[in-house]
A and B are shown apart, each in its own frame.
Chain A
C-alpha cells in the first residue's frame, strides 16, 4: 500500500474531522479524494503541519487529525518534544512513513534507514505512540479518534505516488472555510 491508498481508505472516517494536511501530495491527494471544509491544506511551509495541528488542538475542543509524513517530521523534529510536553488529548498525529520524500521524487529519508520515528517520538516523551502497518491504519485512527488520548501513529507504507492535480484554491479561502468549520464545531 502507498500513501494515496491509505488516504483513500481513511477519507470516509475523517469526513468531519478537523484535518491538517501536509504540504505537497498529501494535501493534493486529500483534496482530490474528498475535499472538505474541515480540511486545512498546506500549500507551502514544509514541516509545520504537526505544529499547526498542535496549536489548533490546544486552542479549541474538537478533535484534530494531522496527516503528516516522515520527511516533514524530520524537517521539524523539534515538534515531537513540544507535542510531548503540551498534552492535548484531542490531538492525533498520523505520520505516514513511506521512508521517502514523496512529493519531490521519492528520495529516501533517514526514517526509511536507521532512524525509527516511533522510537524518536517515545524518547521525546510522547506517551501513546503506535506503529502500524499500512493496512491497519484506518482501524488504528478510528480507535484513536474514539478514544481520549493524545496519540502519535506511525503508519509504515510503501513509497510511490499517483498523479494528482495541484490545489488552485486561494489560501485565504482554505483558511476562511476551515475557520468557519472550527467555529461551528465549537458552538
Chain B
C-alpha cells in the first residue's frame, strides 16, 4: 500500500470524514487519495485559516475533520489556531508537509522551516515529526490522542518521509 493510502486509511479508521486541503508538491498523492476515497468529503480551501473555519463548523456538525497543508501555513493560521481551535477547545489533526528540510531544492522554504517547530512549541501544539515511512505507524495513536484531548495537533512530514521531490 502506498504511503498516501496508509495516511488516508488512518483518517478513515478514526472516523475522519471531512478533510480540507491546501496543496503542496509533497502532498499531491495524499490529496488525490483524499479526493478519491468514498468515505471522505474533500473540500479544497483557498487559504488555510479558511480551512480551519470549515473544520470547526464540520466538527460542531458532528463530523470529525482534518486539514492537510504546508508548514508555511503556520504563519497564516496562528490567530485562527489560538482564537478558534484552541479557545473553543476543538480537535484538529494537521497533516503538514515540512518543507525546507534535507533535500529541499527551494531556498525560501528553509526560511520557514527554521521557525516551524519553534512556532508550534510557542503555541503549545503537540507536534510529531515523520521522517521515515515507518514513523506513520504512530499515526493511528496520534489521531486518537487528538480526539481524546480536543486540541490541534501537528504531524510534520518531511521530504524523506514522502520519498523526496
* Residues of A that sit less than 8 Å from B by CB: 20, 40, 42-45, 47-60, 76, 78-79, 81-82, 86, 171-172, 174-175, 178-179, 182-183, 186
Q: Are B50 and A51 in contact (CB under 8 A)?
A: yes
When the two chains form their complex, are residues B62 and A48 in contact, meaning their CB atoms are under 8 A apart? no
Evaluate contact between B57 and A78: CB separation under 8 angstroms: no
Bound complex: CA A43 to CA B51 (Å): 18
| B164 CB contacts on chain A under 8 angstroms | none
Report A-chain residues with C-beta under 8 Å of the C-beta of B53.
Answer: 45, 47-52, 55, 76
Contact string, B70-89, partner A, CB cutoff 8 A, digits 1/0?
00000000011011100111
Q: Collect the chain A residues with CB atoms within 8 Å of residue B56's CB.
A: 48, 51-52, 55
B49 touches A48 (CB 8 A): yes
A175 touches B57 (CB 8 A): no
- Do residues B57 and A44 form an inter-chain contact, with CB atoms below 8 A? no
Grouping DSSP codes into helix (H, G, I), strand (E, B) and loop, the A interface class, with mixed when no group exceeds half, is helix
Please provide the 10 A-B residue pairs with the shortest distance between their CB atoms, ordered closest to farther: A55-B57, A59-B61, A78-B46, A51-B53, A44-B83, A48-B53, A56-B57, A55-B54, A55-B58, A60-B61
The answer to whether B60 touches A175, judged by C-beta atoms less than 8 angstroms apart, is yes
- Measured between beta carbons, the chain A residues less than 8 angstroms from B79 are 44-45
Q: With both chains docked as a complex, state the minimum distance between the C-beta of B137 and any C-beta of chain A, in angstroms.
A: 30
Q: Within 8 Å CB of A79, what residues of B?
A: 46, 50
Residues of A within 8 A of B88 (CB): 171-172, 174-175
A78 partner, pick from B41, B45, B63, B84, beta carbons under 8 A = B45
> A44 and B45: CB pair below 8 A?
no
* Minimum Cβ distance to chain B for residue A3 (Å): 21
Say yes or no for B97: interface residue by CB 8 A criterion.
no
- Report which residue of A49, A56, A81, A179 has the largest number of chain B beta carbons within 10 angstroms of its beta carbon: A56
Known contacts being A48-B52, A175-B89, A186-B62, is A81 close to B57, with CB within 8 Å? no
Taken together as a complex, chains A and B put the C-alpha atoms of A81 and B17 apart, in Å, by: 22
A76–B48 Cα distance when bound, in Å, is 11
Q: Which residues of A contact B47 (CB under 8 A)?
A: 76, 78
Q: Which of B87-108 contact A (CB under 8 A)?
A: 87-90
B54 touches A52 (CB 8 A): yes
Chain A residue numbers with a CB within 8 Å of B49 are 45, 47-48, 76
Is B65 interfacial (CB-CB < 8 Å)?
A: yes
Q: Which of A45, A52, A186 contacts B57 (CB 8 A)?
A: A52
Give the residues in chain B near A53, CB-CB below 8 Å.
Answer: 57
